[in-house]
Amino acid sequence: MLFNPTPLERLTTLTEELITKHSTAEQELKALREEIVSIRAHAKSKDDEIERLTAELSEKDQEIEAIVSKIESLLG
């Protein structure tokens, strides 16, 4: 005899599948949100480093300009 599920059994099966898929999607969403937070923190760290290096480069440029000015004044 072939298995012929009742409408209620089919509905139960479909509901269970939906609940499982929903749970999986929730877990994936949570993982993605955590990854986004991590990526944003990493990006912030990189932005801070870029800002620090840019300031450092500006200071070095000023030092070079001062040295060039001194050399120019010595040369006349």
pLDDT digits (tens, 9 = 90+) for 11-69: 999 999 999 999 999 999 999 999 999 999 999 999 999 999 999 999 999 999 999 99
- pLDDT exceeds 60 at position 1: no
- Whole-structure pTM value: 0.64
Q: Which two tokens stand for residue 37?
A: 């937070």
Neighbouring CB atoms inside 10 A of 26's CB total 10
Phi/psi zone of residue 47: left (φ > 0), alpha (ψ -120 to 50 degrees), beta?
alpha
The predicted structure's pLDDT at residue 2: 64
Report how far residue 15's alpha carbon sits from residue 9's, in angstroms, rounded to the nearest whole number: 10
The residues, ordered by sequence, that sit 6+ positions from 5 with a Cβ below 8 Å of its Cβ are 13
Q: Which two tokens stand for residue 72?
A: 């120019």
- Which of helix, strand or coil describes residue 3? coil
